[in-house]
Amino acid sequence: MIEISQNQNLTTELVAIKVLNLIKRFGSLVAVNDVSFEINQGEIVGILGPNGAGKTTTIRLLTSVFQLENNAKIEIFGDDITHNPTKYKKNFGIVPEISNAFSDYSVWQNLMFSGGIYGISKDEIEKRSKKLLTQFNLIDKVYSKTKTLSKGLKQRLNLCLALLHDPPILILDEPTSGLDPISVNLMRNQILKLKEEGKTILITTHDMREAQNMCDRILIMNKGKIIADESPDTLREQFKSTSTILFKIDGVISTEQERILSKIVNLVKDKNGYHVFSSTNALKDISNLYQTSKENNIKISDLKIKETSLEEVFIHLIKDDLAFEEGVANK
């Protein structure tokens, strides 16, 4: 494992992962297309993207499960691992989307196997395993076969396995996908705790709220490329000009009133009975809405302006990317 000196520890901007020009082809399909990014030590970075965007392939390239192509380069704490990836695998703790622990092994057997593979002594594996199993509330399942565990428990075991060799970098591939709210909460708290301990964390997720609340930085991937690399706040700031306006109409409105109102806003109702529309000039649109409703005897109530969520930014970016490419293709 790479030793980090005390001086390096004090530097907040120490680059833990540096990835340059990652490419992965599956036949004619370019799954990852010239991806480059950096992650500083102690950061939580989220990779967001639609299904098939290349997130998992990027992780597999980073962890040397797939061989690097062309002039791709990966540096871990400044060391080029491109030519000897096996040596550097100890730096990673990986939590996959779908449990990949040996299903016919018990929780304990999985931990003993994993610890042994990482060269940890038997006594030390036992000590660390007990600590982790207690931390993740798995101690009573220690002799249960992995295949008998629920998805949430399996994911906790995967986190234990990933942490057993105390790696400086954690890679979590959609760790909360399909978990119940209690397991999600436990998982998120543990991830934040690990950040406090100084771990560098790379997380792929579909959950925008998770990314917004947990990540210091977000990489948005689409079609194998990174299309945005910013903090969640910066991303939202960039799209702040678009607001979501919600309001209710008291009573029943006539067809004529509806026609007049629909000239200003799109009258789509959400499940809570709110009419929702997006606006690039909230003040102007609200004043317009009030004016029209007053003139036409429509009673507006419960008006709200919603801040742009990361989800909306994400959808916006993916759509922009698609529109841009279509534009290029049409030219």
Q: What residue ranges bind another protein (CB under 8 A)? A: 26, 29, 31, 50-54, 56-57, 60, 63-67, 86-87, 89-90, 92, 94, 96, 98-105, 109, 113-114, 116-119, 161, 222-224
Task: Pick between residue 57 and residue 212 the one whose CB is nearest to another protein.
Answer: 57
Q: Is the dihedral of CA 56, 59, 64, 67 positive or negative?
A: positive
- In the complex, what is the shortest distance from the CB of residue 116 to another protein, in angstroms, rounded to a whole number? 5
Task: Pick between residue 222 and residue 243 the one whose CB is nearest to another protein.
Answer: 222
79 alpha-carbon distance from chain centroid? 26
The letter for the amino acid at 27 is G
3-class SS shares of the chain: helix, strand, coil, % to 5: 40, 25, 30
- In the complex, what is the shortest distance from the CB of residue 285 to another protein, in angstroms, rounded to a whole number? 34
Task: Pick between residue 102 and residue 277 the one whose CB is nearest to another protein.
Answer: 102
Task: Pick between residue 46 and residue 167 the one whose CB is nearest to another protein.
Answer: 167
Query: Which DSSP category does 42 fall into?
Result: T
284 alpha-carbon distance from chain centroid? 35
Q: Return the ∠ at Cα 17 (arms to 14 and 23), rounded to 5°.
A: 150
With beta carbons less than 8 A apart as the criterion, state whether 269 and 275 touch. Answer: yes
With beta carbons less than 8 A apart as the criterion, state whether 55 and 239 touch. Answer: no
Task: Pick between residue 77 and residue 247 the one whose CB is nearest to another protein.
Answer: 77
- In the complex, what is the shortest distance from the CB of residue 64 to another protein, in angstroms, rounded to a whole number? 7
